[in-house]
Structure 1
Amino acid sequence: MIFDCPSCKTQNRVPVARVTSRAHCGKCKTALTPPDRPLAIHSEAEFEELIREAQVPVVVDFWADWCGPCHAVAPELEALARTKAKDAIVAKVDTEALPNIAGRFGIRSIPTMILFREQREAKRVSGAMTAQAIASNLAL
């Protein structure tokens, strides 16, 4: 995963296994904090790496740009990512850009959020809801 250094703005590649631990910028050595916003997934390989290597639970939001409820839930996912930054990773998969991933998990309605624990689907919920409801329904 690529993270911008908060100090010098250098892009740093951080292995998924270290995303929630204290990684440091390769240039200025500033601590890179755990992600406090949803991570956009750009490829199947990136998705696979995230699910396989994450040391904490991963909440994946399956969404599409044309979906009104997906836009409504986006700020709630931002809030969830902020409150769970050290305990979970929130990621987003655009079902239009990555239809193979959506198909593999049988996504029939969006937004659908799936919780992955130890490389397996643990729970899923669909529909727009608050960050608190997402966390509660997924047992985060």
Structure 2
Amino acid sequence: MTNIVCSSCGATNRIAEGQDMARGKCGKCGAALFSGHAADVPAAILEKQIARSSIPVLVDVWAPWCGPCRVMGPQFEAAAQAAEPDLRLVKLNSDENQDLAGRLGIRGIPTMILFKDGKEAGRVSGAMSSADILAWARRTAS
């Protein structure tokens, strides 16, 4: 079984081996588990994603006033479209989630953190292209 956390409601969904994860829907809220979109999640759902997901979770910590963050936003979206369902991409607004951003040790934005098996596997700061995001995430997750 593969555990996939819903980005909409935070429920943990189990997908049996051999089933198409890309077509999965949340058993609690009915939302698609993978939409090709990097969901902007609150702290509580991000913490569930990190703790309960069987697949690696790539978090983009950003803020709406940050120029490099706005430049990287479409690139992160493109990476989400290409990477799902093997990799979960989510966004965390550091202005709206200051406590979690502080606990994560965010010093500058944009910062991407890759979590695997509930632990930080790597982090990188600065805007990147979608190809560079995917290459870094796949290299770091392996």
1:2 shift after superposition: 5.6
1:136 shift after superposition: 1.9
Normalising by structure 2, report the TM-score: 0.78
1:60 matched to 2:59? yes
1:41 matched to 2:54? no
Corresponding residue number in structure 2 for 1:15: 11
Query: Secondary structure of the residue that 1:35 maps to in structure 2?
Result: coil
Give the fraction of aligned pairs with identical amino acids, expressed as a percent.
37
**Which structure 1 residue ranges, 5 or more long, are not aligned?**
4-12
Q: Given the superposition, is the C-alpha separation of residues 14 and 51 from structure 1 closer, same or farther in structure 2, using an over 3 Å criterion?
A: closer
Corresponding residue number in structure 2 for 1:6: none
Corresponding residue number in structure 1 for 2:3: none
In structure 2, what residue type is equivalent to 1:15? A
**Which structure 2 residue ranges, 5 or more long, are not aligned?**
1-5
1:115 matched to 2:111? no
Distance, in Å, in 2 between the alignment partners of 1:45 and 1:56 is 18
Q: Is the 8 A contact 2:11 2:26 kept in 1?
A: no
Q: Between Structure 1 and Structure 2, how many residues are aligned? A: 127
Corresponding residue number in structure 1 for 2:82: 83
Distance, in Å, in 2 between the alignment partners of 1:88 and 1:51 is 12
Write out per-residue CA displacement over residues 14-49 of structure 1, whole angstroms, 9 at most, x where no aligned residue: 7344488243477xx9x946231101112x221111
Give 1 or 2 for the bigger CA radius of gyration.
1
Corresponding residue number in structure 2 for 1:130: 129
1:118 shift after superposition: 0.4
Say which is worse superposed, 33-42 or 66-75, in terms of deviation. 33-42
Distance, in Å, in 2 between the alignment partners of 1:39 and 1:94 is 11
Query: Secondary structure of the residue that 2:90 maps to in structure 1?
Result: strand
Distance, in Å, in 2 between the alignment partners of 1:17 and 1:55 is 10
Distance, in Å, in 2 between the alignment partners of 1:25 and 1:15 is 7
Q: Is the 8 A contact 1:17 1:54 kept in 2?
A: no
1:99 shift after superposition: 0.6
Write out per-residue CA displacement over residues 93-123 of structure 1, whole angstroms, 9 at most, x where no aligned residue: 0000001111111111100000000000001
Q: Is the 8 A contact 1:14 1:23 kept in 2?
A: no
